[in-house]
Structure formats: structure tokens, C-alpha cells
Amino acid sequence: MHRTAVFDTVEAAAGGSGLGDLPVWDLTDLYPAPDAPEIEADLTWLESECAAFAKEYEGNLSRLDAEGMLGAIRRQERIDAVAGRIMSYAGLRYYQVTTDAERAAFLSDCQDKLTAHTAPLVFFGLEVNRLEDGHLDRLFNQNADLARYRPVFDKLRKMRPYQLSDELEKFLHDQSVVGASAWNKLFDETISGLEFEVDGEVMGIEATLNLLSEQDRSVREKAARALGETLSANVKTFARVHNTLAKEKEVEDRWRKMPSPQTGRHLSNDVEPEVVEALRNAVVAAYPRLSHRYYELKRKWLGLDRMQVWDRNAPLPMEDDRKIGWTEARETVLSAYATFSPQLAELAEPFFDKGWIDAGVTPGKAPGAFAHPTVTDAHPYVLLNYLGKPRDVMTLAHELGHGVHQRLAAAQGEMLSSTPLTLAETASVFGEMLTFRKLLSEAETPAQRKVLLAGKVEDMINTVVRQIAFYDFECKLHDARREGELTPDEISALWMSVQGESLGPAFDFMDDYQTFWAYIPHFVHSPFYVYAYAFGDGLVNALYAAYESGTPEFQEKYFDMLKAGGSKHHRELLAPFGLDASDPAFWDKGLSMIEAMIDELEALED
């Protein structure tokens, strides 16, 4: 891996005992340094190109022939690529050390400049939406290269009923840097700066959350209480962030005449509201058969009369608590990928060898994990907070799935490579499933099999049940905010209203647990994002069942699906596998796979 001056302010992540050397990002594939002349040159080009683009095309789109429209689209793609490269570099540097003032300022400056430079482009989508359908159809029929971009136009035109005047759209564009993005940064900086004291040791949120899966119950309890105490002490700030963002969204939705707070997310996901509603209803109806039943089993395994919230992710008593080193994690995931297809492993390997992963837990680093696609003429980057737990190996498999998906879809170009969130989880969850199935096939004893099955069921409950409960919380939050300002206690009450329902009667809830909504980043960054996880899990369960049943040419069809990126609707992508997400029975099939695993766990008790 190349190490450069970019990382001088980032402590090398040794990973601690037993993990080995953990990789750090090499961002020089994007830019050599934050003060590199290439960044300034790209910003200068963007400013002049956006102005030239507007001068040539504003007010003239209806007069373009097919060749002219294709030229405009390709110029827009180039603008997107340059802007995306700058923001990817600035954002990735920031997420390495969110508490670093210089990195935060650099990101803000880049956002401000790009917002200003790209303001002249706002007209494009507005004018496209004023074109007659017949006119566009004629252009597509005249030029096959232009017709390839039809999905871009279709997605734009779905916003037609909710489009504001040109002047208002430009205002919203300019105002965005002091709107949602500013509150997002406040949230990120606040979360990353929080300190939690456990047994005299002060740590960040990621390390504290990690203690909730420790074998020692007293450690889990102390971590949970530390989380609750600190979140409660800061809950007014988080309530202000949520109130402001929910109100801002309500105002914009009202002006756009959006029928519901969720409409914007459904449109961006290219999914019908009734499909999401069918998913949500199927999962909620399955709570007793899934989470309630599983946690009652776990309560017995742990020898408890009642489960507490700090027991939810507890390891089983017979579980091996050894840490899994980085080299072993790498080999586990790559071999699982290779078992499905050598090509899948080959696509994942550069992430380890070329500085595309940042794995260690370091001060100020963003919590959680993600795969960022950057731009199609570069490559994705994966962020982890690797601590050597089995779940961390599954997270590695998950994020590498995203990365592989993003690499395959890159050939579609900037406008067509981005996959809707509902389908963006496909390769990631499938990668997890491949890794799990490989480990399960290698289990040597019933106890090992039980631990693996329980871990997978918990992951699926966290992905399906917990995320749908999150979705219901968001729906309640945005509905309530329409009626007025919400106090921290009122937000907490909405949170608790979905917790007992989803987790089941095995649990008691400690004081301060009602504030745990405060640390969930998706509520802030991407309202209603969370149902995409459940969508992806259900979709992958159905896909994996098709794979196991011997669907002809499954691997070839799977790669074709990933390569499509955002160029096809979920109906087209699933058709080759004989699947249809608009069929309510589709979701029951996916949930039945989780249920079957719980059945097996119950059978192992006999």
C-alpha cells in the first residue's frame, strides 16, 4: 500500500493485540493532497464549464436534436465526474478524522464552491421536465446512444408533479449549504466528539457500542449505561437537529406538494410506495415469528429471567471470544467470494492491496462502516471500524459487496452507475450470505453450528426487524413534527413506541434507553433510508433461494444485475430470476428463510 503525506495527521491503525496491521486509505488516486494544484485546476474548470454549459443550453433544450441532446448529457456527466471527485476526496478525508478542524473546513469550503459553481445547472432538470413526452421519444428513437440515458430522463420526469419554479429551485440549491448539510455536519461532529466513560476509561461512541457485544454482562451493562448517560446529557442538541431537519423537509415537501414525507425517498429509490408498504406490513406481521421467538430462545441460552437492552447483541455463553486477525478476515471473505465465483474474489482483492480500505478504530474517525463509490473513473473506498469480532468479518463481507457492485456498475458512467438504495444493498447482503454459508458448512460441532446460526439470525433481525422499526419511528417522527416542535421526551416516546413492539416481551428497558435514537446517523443524513436494508435482505434471501435451487446460469445473471447499476428498474433486474418484488408473497419468502433458521435453532435445543 502507498502511504503519503495525506495521512500524516492520522495515527497508523495497528489494530491492537491479535489483529495485525490494519490498512489505511491511500486517497492519492483522487488527489495528491488537499493543497494540490490539481484541485484548484478542477475547481476553476468547473466554474467556467458550468457557466459555459448554461450559456449554451439554458432556454434551448427544446431546440436540440438527438446529437445535440447527447452532447449536453455527456458534458453534464463530465461535470458530475469532476465535482464528484472533489467531494469524494474532501468527504473521505473528513470521515477519517471528523474532529479535525482543518478537514472540516476543507470539506465546507469545497461544498460552498461546488454549490456556487453548479448553481447555473439547476435549469437543466427543470427544462427537461417541460419537454413533451413525444418530443423526447423521437429523440430516443433517432439515437441509440442517447436512448441509453432514458432511465435518467424517466427518473427526472417523475419529479415533474413536484417541481417548483426555476427561481425557487435555484434558491433551494444555493441555500442547501446552510440547510441540511450544515445540520448534518453538526450531528457528525457532535457524535464523534462525545466521550463515554466505562470503568474509568474514556472512549468514543464506536468503541463503546462495541462493548455491547462483550461476553462479560457487567461490561455490557456499564457500556449501555454510559451510552444512555452521555446521550441523555446531549439530547437537547440531537432533538434540535431532528426538529430542524424534519421541519425543513416538511416545508419543502409542502411547497412541492409531496403526498407524504416518504415520497421523495421512494422516488429516489425508484420504488413504488405500495411495494414498500407491502414490505413493512409483512415484517411487522412477522415480529412474533421472528424477533419475539428468537429473543425468547436467547433469554433461555443466557440463563436470564428477563433480557435487558444490553443483552440484545450479547454473544452466546458457548461462543468463542477470540479476536479474528485481519489476515484471517481477508482470507475468509475472499475464499467465500471465490467459492461462488473466482471473478467476485478478483474484484474484491484490490481493496486489500491498493489502499482502498481504512479499517482501524482511530480518534475522531466516523463510526460504523460504508463503501463510497467516488466516481466512475476512479474506484470505491471502504471504511470500517475493525475490532476483530465475527460481526466485523461480516461487515467486511458486506462492504466489499458494495465495493464490487460499485466497480461493476461503473461502466454505466456517472449518470447511470448509481444504484437506488433498495438495490444498492443486494451485493452487500449477498456477500454476507456467501460468507455465512461457507462458515456454516465448515462447522465441526452442533455448538459451532448453533453459534453461527444464532449470529446470522441476529444480523438478519437487525437488518430487517430493527430497520423496519426504525422506519416506523421515522414515519411517526415526521408526522408528529408536522403538528409542531417536539421536545426530547416526545421524540423519545415515539422511539419507545416501536422498541417493545419489535423486540418483544422478553425485554426490559433501562432508564436512558429512550434516547438511543439520538446516535442513528441515517435519520439525519438520509431520512427513510433504513427500509432499504430490509428491502435488500428480503431480496437477497429470495435470490439466494433461487441460487440454491439451481437457477440456470445464476452467476452470469447475478453479474449482469450488478453491472446494470441504476439503468434498470427492480422489476427488470429480478425478472431473469423469476422474482417480483411487487408481489406481497415475495417478502414472505424472504422472511421464511429467517424463520427456518430459528426453527433449526429450536430443534438444536431438543
Rounded to whole angstroms, the Cα distance separating 118 from 52 reads 11
CA distances from 187 to 229, 313, 418 (A): 18, 25, 26
Residue 14 pLDDT > 80: no
* 478: number of Cβ within 10 Å: 22
Question: What DSSP element (H or E) covers 597?
Answer: helix 584-605
pLDDT at 4: 25
Average pLDDT over residues 11-25: 68
CA distances from 81 to 155, 243, 524 (A): 19, 34, 26
Concatenating the DSSP letter of every residue in 269-302 gives HT--HHHHHHHHHHHHHHTIIIIIHHHHHHHHHT
Q: How confident is the model at residue 545 (pLDDT cuts 50, 70, 90)?
A: confident
pLDDT at 506: 94
Q: How confident is the model at residue 176 (pLDDT cuts 50, 70, 90)?
A: confident
pLDDT at 373: 95
Question: 269 — alpha (psi -120 to 50), left (phi > 0) or beta?
Answer: alpha
Residue with cell string 462458515? 439
Specify the length of the chain in residues: 606
Q: How confident is the model at residue 432 (pLDDT cuts 50, 70, 90)?
A: very high
Superfamily of domain 31-178: Oligopeptidase f, N-terminal domain (1.20.140.70)
What does the angle CA 79 – CA 81 – CA 87 come to, to the nearest 5 degrees? 100
CA-nearest of 547, 523, 339, 262 to 426 is: 547
What is the identity of the amino acid at 574? L
Rounded to two decimals, what is the model's pTM? 0.81
pLDDT at 107: 95
* 88: number of Cβ within 10 Å: 20
Q: How confident is the model at residue 606 (pLDDT cuts 50, 70, 90)?
A: low
Dump pLDDT digits (tens) for 343-381.
999 999 999 999 999 999 998 898 889 999 999 999 999
Residue 538 pLDDT > 80: yes
Q: How confident is the model at residue 502 (pLDDT cuts 50, 70, 90)?
A: very high
* Counts for the chain of helices (H) and strands (E), in that order: 28, 7
Rounded to whole angstroms, the Cα distance separating 480 from 468 reads 18
Query: 435-457 in b/e burial notation, b at 16+ Cβ within 10 A?
Result: bbbbbeeeeeeeebbbbbbbbbb
pLDDT at 445: 86
Average pLDDT, the chain: 91
Average pLDDT over residues 78-96: 97
Q: How confident is the model at residue 2 (pLDDT cuts 50, 70, 90)?
A: very low
Residue with cell string 419468502? 589
Instruction: Give the three cell numbers for residue 292.
Output: 419475539
Residue 3 pLDDT > 60: no
